[in-house]
Structure 1
Amino acid sequence: MWLFISVHVLCTLFSSILATNPGFRLRITEDGLNYANQVAVDLVTKKVKTTKLPDQNGEGKNVKYSLSNLDIRNFQPPTSSITLASESDLQWKATNLALEIDGKFHYKYKKGFIKFSGGGSVNVKFSDISFSVGVNLGVDGSGKPTIKAGKCSCDSGPVKVKFRGGLSWIYNLFSGKVGKIIAGQFQSKMCGIIQNLIDKNAQESLSTIKVEVQLGEFLTLDYRLLAAPTVTSEYIEADLKGEIFWKSDKSEAPFAPPAMATITDNKKMVYITLSEYIFNTMTYQAHQHNILVFNLTSQNIKAKNDALNTTCTDICIGKLIPQIGKSFPNSKVELHMKSSKPPVTSITDGHLGVAAEGDIDLYARKPDKSLHYLFRIAGAGSIAVKLTMNETVIHGSVEDMKIKLNVSKSSIGPVNEKALQFLVDSAIKTTITPMLNDLGTKGFPMPSTDNLKLNQFDFKLLQNTMLIETNLKYIPEPTKTKSTVLKFVPRDRWKSINNV
């Protein structure tokens, strides 16, 4: 991991076809960069304190000397800032950095026939050190973010050299050179440390970011960057693909992302906007590949007084629709459900809803296991969804569900639709709703890295848009936790009619 926390999230944290609008947008504000700067200083401080300077050899008038065991001590972190430059560039500047270097020295003096040698310890104090490095943000061919260090410069103010041991007049022969040599070595090392952190550590970290997240067994969420992040005077912003594909078929959905709501403030570190497009591509792919099928049977209900019985002493479908009880006594009714259109997610101010249409075919399964068609219900429904989130996952639950039914293709004559509506409503309340809520607890994963978590977040629903306003929390040594990535119910539990 490295200094620019913000870039980790530019996943983190995406193109074959560029959409007019993205499905996912990420904005990092100046507050986010200020936080990144704090972490950057901590990381650089740790790196500098463990840096070793190479041994040095030199000579002055009549004297040769060597410096060894040069260790950096008493490092004073700088006053620094990461500023927004232009287009896709950042600038990291630091001033008022100070430190001491301790080491050993040895000398050999020779003038004519006079020869002698000695040594001792040396202390070098630096003050008013400053550095500046440019940072370029980009995107590679796979849609992953890239980062590269630009030109780096490092300067220092007065250098004080103090020797202990040996003859004081000897020091004057090479003390000036010692200060310049060590200053030059440190300045070179400092730029090397910073550029290495950017070009190696940061880039390696970014290369591990997944731009494609698997959702269950069959779907993938595409988080590719559509272009290099844009840098303005107030924030960095990145547009991501934000589309869900069938895992083995990357065909685009036949509709484009709508324009997302405009962010009106920059008070938080990070702003994440998710388009309803993401969810609509998910339901489109699920419908196109026949995932949205489900057989509701007595095994799903698991109740003592099963409403799907055709024969009972209290309330069941056999009494609500007498002709079923009469024609198929001591049997079980099954509801075979299948979407007829892709469900559509709509997000408006403060509300998220899903509209769905499907067919429900009712069958009677006799004690001998034979299956007999009864009638078809053309159903249309709407679901109001309540959303919550934690540091990495958005969770959903059913707040309200309404379904309207229209019976057609009946093999048993006219059907009491009110009784049928009561039956279906009860079955959905006791079976389908808990199933959807269980799916919602798995959650919808946010792009992130192991070292970053969302913190102090606010969640808003705006026109066509989910908006997450959040700060960041950096975790230097994260512990691995069990994945909460969204998982669909295995395919063998979504039986189609043909498999019955």
Structure 2
Amino acid sequence: MVSPVAAGHHWHSPDSRHRPWLRGHDLPEGSGLRMAVDGFHIPNPKIEMLPSDGLRVFIKDASIKINGKWMSRKNFLKAGGNFELSIQGVSISTDLILGSDSSGHITTICSNCDSHIDSVHIKISGSMLGWLIRLFHRKIETSLKNIIYKKICKIVRDSVSSKLQPYLKTLSVITRVDDVTSVDYSLLAPLTTTNQFLEGQLKGEFFWRGHRDPLPIHPPVMRFVPNGAYMVCMGISDYFFNTEVLAYQQSGTLKMTLGGQLLSNNGRFQLNTDFLRTFLPKVAKMFPSMGVQLLISAPVPVHLSIQPSGLSFNPKLETQAFVVLPNASLVPLFVLGMKTNASLEVDAEENRLVGEMKLGSRWLLELKESKFGPFKVEYLEDVINYLVSTLVLPKINERLRRGFPLPLPAGIRFSHFTFYPYQNFLLLEADLHLI
């Protein structure tokens, strides 16, 4: 939801003394015109919401100042000079109807346009024929006013199709996240309007770039009242986060292999078969002083839940242990089930959603399979918890800190972020600024 903003704008052009002569389509052959917009003042632009699906844009009491040089040649007659053109009291009202195309992009068309000009004044100088031109001064100004009046709405309509519509396309429907995943932000339905906001429903669905299957989960219904103090109110459901986990799992990237690392600063633990001697003596005897490799993976998707108390989930991982033989082949040892509770803290930086995962308690272990007989998993609890906290968790948080792109058109960034957790969704409130 985006709230309209009204503001005043001033533009001034750079020096135009070295600009080339421009051939005017309506000027006689041999004629030329060089001009520059010296000032363009819009004191009070305004946007209003039209019922259901549109915007009305007002510009009132705008003014334009143009200066330049003119030259005209007809047969043996040649004339030229300087001019200053002042256009006052320009008002424009245009209606924009919003929609969406088959790809999920926002579309807009200009359905209505009205314009008005209070006055046009022209001052000619530096011409030998200035006295003659001044005789027709009023007629020239009236003619210019009629010409400009007829051009305004054509320029507005052309600008909507050639400038505004391509700009709306910069709000990417499919946004690349990394080498593995992308996120789909396509519109599920055309934008609608209320008294204060534009409202839109975006898909917000991650998918594996290598393959895209129908997902086994469905988005929840989100209901919230926009806060008029912010320009944007965005509901981000738990579906958004859970499709991210599914995409990484489908791609096979939710795995981490550990082996040969020093497990404590004082060298008390090393990941090898000598360490297993206490609870798997047969392994230590058969494979003396050989390396041990651990493969940590998520066998089932992690389901994140958003409650008013925050974002939480109960990750369940699996650790497979192998002996690494001298020829680099692997001998399976055992499989451990691991579970704990965790939370996710969410923040935003510019146009990216960032996060940090925090573990709520120690990992609880369960022996699911052993090729060399049962043993007490308590012997491995300290080691596994140490490994996860020092090697696995930092890798996850490194990825979360890089963040995930939020849907914004080019040249705009979020600012003044505020987050509120609700049932099944997170509410982001923010302002927008140009960059």
Same fold (TM over 0.5): yes
Q: Secondary structure at the match of 2:227?
A: coil
CA apart distance, 1:331:
2.4
**Counterpart residue type for residue 49 of structure 2:** L
Q: Secondary structure at the match of 1:91?
A: strand
Map 1:22-41 onto structure 2 (within 5 A). 27-30=1-4, 33-34=5-6, 38=8, 41=9
How far apart are the structure 2 equivalents of 1:372 and 1:121? 91
Given that 1:386 and 1:397 are in contact with CA atoms closer than 8 Å, whether structure 2 keeps it comes out as yes
Larger fraction in helix: 1
Q: Percent identity at matched positions?
A: 24
Q: Secondary structure at the match of 1:343?
A: coil
Return closer, same or farther for 1:93/1:67 CA change in 2, 3 Å cut-off.
farther
Tell me if 1:181 matches 2:181.
no
**Counterpart residue type for residue 433 of structure 1:** L
CA apart distance, 1:342:
1.0
Residue by residue, what CA displacement relative to the aligned partner does 1:144-174 show, whole Å, maximum 9, x if unpaired? 1222223222211244455557789856753
Return closer, same or farther for 1:427/1:106 CA change in 2, 3 Å cut-off.
closer
Map 1:126-137 onto structure 2 (within 5 A). 126-137=87-98
Residue by residue, what CA displacement relative to the aligned partner does 1:102-141 show, whole Å, maximum 9, x if unpaired? 5678999xxxxxxx99886555543322111111222122
Q: Secondary structure at the match of 2:219?
A: coil
Return closer, same or farther for 1:301/1:135 CA change in 2, 3 Å cut-off.
farther
Tell me if 1:204 matches 2:166.
yes
Q: Secondary structure at the match of 2:240?
A: helix
Moved more, 96-105 or 79-88: 96-105
Return closer, same or farther for 1:350/1:196 CA change in 2, 3 Å cut-off.
farther
Return closer, same or farther for 1:320/1:160 CA change in 2, 3 Å cut-off.
same
How far apart are the structure 1 equivalents of 2:23 and 2:78? 24
Q: 2:188 is matched with which residue?
A: 226
How far apart are the structure 1 equivalents of 2:47 and 2:420? 29
How far apart are the structure 2 equivalents of 1:259 and 1:180? 59
Q: 2:391 is matched with which residue?
A: 431
Given that 2:280 and 2:372 are in contact with CA atoms closer than 8 Å, whether structure 1 keeps it comes out as no
Q: 1:79 is matched with which residue?
A: 44
How far apart are the structure 1 equivalents of 2:72 and 2:410? 51
Q: 1:147 is matched with which residue?
A: 108
Tell me if 1:361 matches 2:299.
no
How far apart are the structure 1 equivalents of 2:66 and 2:403? 52
- Using CA pairs under 8 Å that are at least 6 residues apart, name the structure with larger relative contact order, 1 or 2: 1
How far apart are the structure 2 equivalents of 1:437 and 1:92? 45
Tell me if 1:375 matches 2:337.
no
Q: Secondary structure at the match of 1:181?
A: helix
Unpaired runs of 5+ residues, structure 2, are none
Return closer, same or farther for 1:341/1:132 CA change in 2, 3 Å cut-off.
same
Q: 1:495 is matched with which residue?
A: none
Given that 1:67 and 1:103 are in contact with CA atoms closer than 8 Å, whether structure 2 keeps it comes out as no
Return closer, same or farther for 1:74/1:448 CA change in 2, 3 Å cut-off.
closer
Q: Secondary structure at the match of 2:365?
A: strand
Matched positions, count: 422
- Partner residue of 1:467 out of 424, 427, 435: 427
Map 1:191-340 onto structure 2 (within 5 A). 191-299=153-261, 304-311=267-274, 316-319=275-278, 324-326=283-285, 328-340=287-299
How far apart are the structure 2 equivalents of 1:258 and 1:85? 29
Residue by residue, what CA displacement relative to the aligned partner does 1:181-217 show, whole Å, maximum 9, x if unpaired? 1112322343344333321122222334421122333
- Partner residue of 1:406 out of 349, 357, 366: 366
How far apart are the structure 2 equivalents of 1:152 and 1:207? 23
Given that 1:132 and 1:152 are in contact with CA atoms closer than 8 Å, whether structure 2 keeps it comes out as yes
Q: Secondary structure at the match of 2:419?
A: strand
Unpaired runs of 5+ residues, structure 1, are 1-26, 59-65, 109-115, 476-500
Tell me if 1:98 matches 2:78.
no
RMSD across aligned positions (CA): 3.5
How far apart are the structure 2 equivalents of 1:466 and 1:374? 43
**Counterpart residue type for residue 85 of structure 1:** L
Return closer, same or farther for 1:363/1:289 CA change in 2, 3 Å cut-off.
same
- Partner residue of 2:311 out of 352, 368, 374: 352
